[in-house]
Amino acid sequence: MRLPTLRGFGRRAAWAAALGALAAGLVTLTPLAPAAEAAGTLQQVTNFGSNPGNLTMYEYAPAGLPANAPLVVALHGCTQSASDYHTHSGWQKFADQWGFAVVYPQTGTANNSLSCFSWFDSAKDARGKGEAASVAQMVDHAAAQYGSDRARIFVTGLSAGGGMTADLLADYPDVFAGGAVDSGLPAQCATTQAAASGCQYSGQNLTPKQWGDKVRGSYPGYSGPWPRVAIWQGTSDTTVAPVNGTELRDQWTDVWGVGQTATATQNLTGNTTESIYADAAGKPAVALFSVSGMAHGLAVDPGSGADQCGSTGAYYLDTICSSYHTAKFWGLDRSGGDSGGGGALPAPSSVTVAATTDTGVTLSWNAVGGAASYKVYRDGAAVGSPTGTTYTDTGLSAGTSYRYTVAAVDAAGAVGAASAPVTATTTGAVPAPKCYTDNNYNQVRAGRAHQSGGYTYANGSNQNMGLYNVAITHTLKETSPAYFVLADSGC
């Protein structure tokens, strides 16, 4: 089957999305007064800079936003708009709940016929150039307007906006503390429009170092710190092939120098597997969220639950609230967990593994003056909030190593500095991995693999298993829940 001609993203998929957007009655915003005059409303901002990329700036801030709050930049996908993304993505809920401002850059048909951000154009997606420079100007304007914490500025985007997000993280690692690429492409995967289709539909066969060099080459001479990057990818995405999630993982783990083996994995709602790649201090540097069975779009989960958000629509898919998990990965939930605490209390000293069982770990530490409670983090994720100086973590896997850090929390809820990490290994034997031998068709039917473009890919590792049919047989080994690798040479 011949693929449609591309312009930014697949024209066939984009026109289908455009029809869906019309059916949903999406709105184009008209210019309003500057946001400083009305908080709690999506507002257009003019005169934010020279705007070399010809973008439009919108922003949202909850009422009573304090100074030194975080700032999030959110980029829409092709055929979408700032108001569309604000309405469906769920970012408003968490801006109101956790107290941060959101900037929504918007492109249009004058830049790209399908209103795609130009992630594939080296004249528009490089530091100091075009659309990338316009977004940087928006950040400067909003940070000055709101008195934002310049150490807590983040960027996220869907599809073409995801590709531009990766470029921005590479171009401006001195600006962004973290990012989230949703159904997007690795930084600088393509530098011309003609090369864009190759990135979208197939792997580029680059090593992690080659991917990492594309980031390092975007801002020569920069030596860190690097942004913490969350990657969201559906396993049934036929517009941006699932291999892009793996390549993004390879790219940013290489930049961080942490290797491509996950330090922790867990199953989330919506058939989602989270794989964490921690830095030397035990904090997540990269997270890969693989959503089994999800097509191309942003993962949302309409509802009133704490971990639910957004609304469905064209390219907004009811699976899991990606904005919630991304915000927690960045530490915007005020736990300070993944991005480091902003409180004044020092790190607890003498964090010790007091005891281990096959399913639990007990920790102890010295008290911190002024602490009302403590936060305990396992592999970078908050797992407990004890008021004393001991904590027992339960429900763990036998024979498995976990890394813990502890931070003190003051009476106002501010989380202080995290302790040095300690490693605890539960007792008992490591469960033997399960292996499954079957043809590619049945592997997909059983939920161990997925197909895209006529080929089969192992869930989790995204390894190419060949054509999607009954004539090809492979053995898959489940190395962690819902994570499969090829094991034809033996399990």
Compute the average pLDDT of residues 245-262: 95
Query: In this structure, which amino acid lies at residue 436?
Result: Y
pLDDT digits (tens, 9 = 90+) for 83-138: 999 999 999 999 998 999 999 999 999 999 999 999 999 999 999 999 999 999 99
pLDDT at 248: 98
Burial (CB < 10 A; 0-12, 13-18, 19+), residue 280, is: exposed
Instruction: List, in order of start, the domains of the chain with CATH numbers.
Output: 6-330 (3.40.50.1820), 352-425 (2.60.40.10), 434-486 (no CATH)
Q: Are 243 and 183 in contact (CB under 8 A)?
A: no
pLDDT at 343: 52
Per-residue pLDDT for 294 more than 90?
yes
pTM: 0.65
Return d(Cα 491, Cα 483) in angstroms, integer: 14
HEC secondary structure over the chain: CCCCCEECEEHHHHHHHHHHHHHHCCCCCCCCCCHHHCCCCCEEECCCCCCCCCCEEEEECCCCCCCCCCEEEEECCCCCCHHHHHHHHCHHHHHHHHCCEEEEEECCCCCCCCCCCCCCCCCCCCCCCHHHHHHHHHHHHHHHHHCCCCCCEEEEEECHHHHHHHHHHHHCCCCCCEEEEECCCCCCCCCCHHHHHHHHHCCCCCCHHHHHHHHHCCCCCCCCCCCEEEEEEECCCCCCCCHHHHHHHHHHHHHHCCCCCCCEEEEECCCEEEEEEECCCCCEEEEEEEECCCCCCEEEECCCCCCCECCCECCEEECCCHHHHHHHHHCCCCCCCCCCCCCCCCCCCCCEEEEECCCCEEEECCCCCCCCEEEEEECCEEEECCCCCEEEECCCCCCCEEEEEEEEECCCCCEEEECCCEEEECCCCCCCCEEEEEEHHHHHHCCCEEEECCEEEECECCCEEEECCCCCEEEEEEEECCEEEECCCCC
pLDDT at 380: 61
With CA atoms as reference, report the closest residue to 86 among 330, 300, 334, 329: 300
CA distances from 173 to 161, 169, 355, 377 (A): 17, 5, 40, 26
Return d(Cα 66, Cα 419) in angstroms, integer: 28
pLDDT at 344: 65
pLDDT at 40: 77
Compute the average pLDDT of residues 460-465: 85
Compute the average pLDDT of residues 424-431: 82
| Other residues' Cβ atoms within 10 Å of the Cβ of residue 419 | 26
pLDDT at 16: 39
Per-residue pLDDT for 357 more than 90?
yes
Return d(Cα 173, Cα 256) in angstroms, integer: 12
With CA atoms as reference, report the closest residue to 66 among 10, 180, 146, 160: 146
Report the largest interatomic distance among the alpha carbons of the chain, rounded to a whole angstrom. Answer: 67
Q: What percent of the chain lies above the pLDDT cut of 90? A: 64
Structure tokens that stand for 385 in this block: 């909030």
Q: What percent of the chain lies above the pLDDT cut of 70? A: 88
pLDDT at 342: 44
pLDDT digits (tens, 9 = 90+) for 269-287: 999 999 999 988 888 999 9
Q: Are 244 and 186 in contact (CB under 8 A)?
A: yes
pLDDT at 74: 98
Per-residue pLDDT for 13 more than 60?
no
pLDDT at 224: 79
Per-residue pLDDT for 320 more than 90?
yes
Return d(Cα 371, Cα 429) in angstroms, integer: 38
Active site residues: 159
Structure tokens that stand for 45 in this block: 């901002």
Return d(Cα 465, Cα 487) in angstroms, integer: 11
**Ranked by mean pLDDT, which of 17-31, 335-349, 436-450 comes out on top?**
436-450
